């Protein structure tokens, strides 16, 4: 039996409550399928600050580096609003992304049939939607230098950010997108602004060249990022995989995710480069939502984003495709049965808390796996 090393960082607020549901899946899969998960747990965000005065300790960073995959809950809350900037809760998340070199952020936008009428768009536009946004996460305008505000000396200041991409950064993110497309509907749409940005011209050239050299079996389209935003709300089902830079990806993935309803439904994965020796990628899986201080401690948070993040972990870190498919199907079935947490409640449905939702999905998962 192979050992699968998971490092769990529940974090703050509802992160603790939703991670508790994932622990049940890990235990059940070990017990019933001999899955071989070995878990360690650490502190991140406000909880780490309270314990160590840092947003994540060096010891926990080492454990994150040594794990096959990190599962991350959520960080933050009013208690830590006034802690020094470099030890604020989010610093723990940014440190993990940076030190693990997680350059590819994957955000699926899946519209479960049972929730199609909860979207702000018409049901026929979102029903059955299943797209994946691949966002470059460690480069571009959020990191380029110079990044500063300078005093022009005439009563004016100038704010400067620098959008910068090198060939290798575009090659590796587009390779991730093409490879994922091969496991889905085999279509990639690359989005940039080559009409007004030099980095967009290079992005377009490198994606095209990478496609030609290694992935010509995948259908490739290009779209200007502003038109892409418009198309995402006009007819999102035209897309399969979208690949884009850090800035556009930040916005486009938020647009795409909101097509599907509540924040409590949205998982994500962040992947690094494959290790040349083992072929394994560093990876972290986390819900898109934050620590939800307004509902923390009440047992009412929706655990689906966290559980679906675990499904992504099964798929991308452990190649457990059948188990990931089954877990996603279990989530869909439970929603079909009319079981809902408060954030996705609908008329005629049965409202449950975090634990009951987790238990219902686990029971369905085990039933489908039998």
User: Which residues here bind ligand NAD, judged by CB under 6 A?
Assistant: 14, 74-77, 90, 93, 263-264, 286, 289-295, 301-302, 305, 343
- Active-site residue among 49, 60, 193, 343? 193
Q: Cα–Cα distance between 118 and 98 in angstroms, integer?
A: 36
Phi, psi of 145 (to 5 degrees): -120, 150
Tokens matching residue 145: 């230098």
Q: What is the DSSP string of 180-194?
A: HHHTTTSEEEEEE-T
List 99, 130, 161, 226, catalytic entry: 226
Least Å distance, CB 254 to ligand NAD, is 11
Q: Is there a catalytic annotation at residue 193?
A: yes
> Is 226 tagged catalytic?
yes
List Cα–Cα distances, 217 to 186, 200, 211, 316, in angstroms: 8, 24, 9, 22
CA-to-CA distance for 47 and 197, rounded, in angstroms? 42
User: Which residues have a Cβ under 8 Å from the Cβ of 151 and sit 6 or more positions away?
Assistant: 157
Cβ neighbourhood burial of 297 (10 Å; 0-12, 13-18, 19+)? exposed
Out of 250, 325, 329, 359, which one is annotated catalytic?
250
Spatial distance between the Cα atoms of 156 and 149, rounded to a whole number of angstroms: 10
Of 24, 79, 99, 142, catalytic: 142
**Beta pairing, strands 281-287 & 69-74:** parallel
**Nearest approach, Cβ of 13 to ligand NAD (angstroms)?**
7
Nearer to ligand NAD, 90 or 171 (CB): 90
DSSP letter string, 84-106: -GGGSHHHHHHHHHHHTT--EEE
Residue nearer to ligand NAD on the CB measure, 189 or 295: 295
Rounded CA separation 76/340 (Å): 26
Q: Which tokens sit at 207?
A: 């994606």
Minimum CB separation from ligand NAD for residue 270, in Å? 11
Nearer to ligand NAD, 189 or 301 (CB): 301
CA distance 254 to 261: 11
CB of 202 or CB of 295, closer to ligand NAD: 295
Report the residue number, 192 or 343, with the smaller CB distance to ligand NAD: 343
254 included as an active-site residue: yes
Q: Is 250 a catalytic residue?
A: yes
Active-site option among 254, 322, 336, 367? 254
* In the complex, least distance from residue 81 CB atom to ligand NAD, rounded to whole angstroms: 8
CA distance 216 to 63: 39
Query: Taking the complex as a whole, how short is the minimal distance between the CB of residue 21 and ligand NAD, in angstroms?
Result: 11
Q: Which residue blocks in 260-303 are alpha helix, DSSP H?
A: none
151 is an active site residue: no
- CB-wise, 165 or 310, nearer to ligand NAD? 310
Q: How far is the CB of 313 from ligand NAD (least distance, A)?
A: 16
User: Catalytic residue positions?
Assistant: 142, 193, 226, 250, 254
């Amino acid at each position: 039996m192979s050992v699968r090393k998971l490092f769990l960082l529940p974090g703050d607020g509802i992160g603790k409550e939703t991670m508790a549901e994932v622990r049940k899946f890990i235990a059940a899969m070990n017990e019933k399928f001999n899955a071989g998960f070995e878990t360690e747990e650490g502190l991140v965000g406000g909880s780490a600050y309270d314990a160590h005065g840092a947003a994540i300790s060096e010891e926990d960073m080492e454990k994150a580096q040594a794990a096959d995959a990190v599962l991350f809950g959520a960080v933050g809350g009013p208690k830590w609003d006034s802690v020094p900037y470099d030890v604020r809760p989010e610093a723990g998340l940014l440190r993990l992304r940076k030190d693990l070199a997680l350059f590819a952020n994957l955000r699926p936008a899946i519209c479960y049939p049972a929730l199609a009428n909860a979207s702000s768009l018409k049901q026929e536009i979102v029903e059955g939607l299943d797209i994946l946004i691949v966002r470059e996460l460690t480069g571009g305008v959020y990191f380029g230098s110079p990044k500063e505000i300078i005093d022009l000396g005439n009563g004016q200041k100038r704010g400067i950010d620098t959008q910068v991409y090198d060939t290798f950064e575009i090659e590796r993110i587009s390779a991730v997108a093409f490879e994922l497309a091969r496991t889905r509907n085999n279509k990639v749409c690359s989005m940039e602004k080559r009409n007004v940005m030099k980095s967009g011209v290079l992005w377009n050239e490198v994606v095209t060249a990478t496609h030609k050299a290694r992935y010509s079996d995948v259908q490739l389209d290009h779209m200007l990022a502003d038109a892409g935003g418009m198309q995402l709300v006009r007819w999102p089902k035209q897309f399969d995989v979208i690949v884009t830079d850090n800035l556009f990806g930040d916005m486009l993935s938020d647009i795409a995710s909101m097509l599907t309803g509540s924040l409590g439904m949205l998982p994500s994965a962040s992947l690094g480069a494959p290790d040349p020796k083992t072929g394994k990628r560093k990876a972290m899986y986390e819900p898109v939502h934050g620590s939800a201080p307004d509902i923390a401690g009440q047992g009412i948070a929706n655990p689906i984003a966290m559980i679906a993040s675990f499904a992504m972990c099964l798929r991308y870190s452990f190649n457990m495709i059948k188990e990931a498919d089954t877990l996603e199907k279990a989530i869909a079935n439970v929603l079909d049965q009319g079981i809902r947490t408060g954030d996705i409640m609908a008329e005629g449905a049965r409202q449950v808390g975090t634990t009951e939702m987790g238990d219902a999905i686990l029971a369905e998962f085990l039933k489908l796996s039998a």
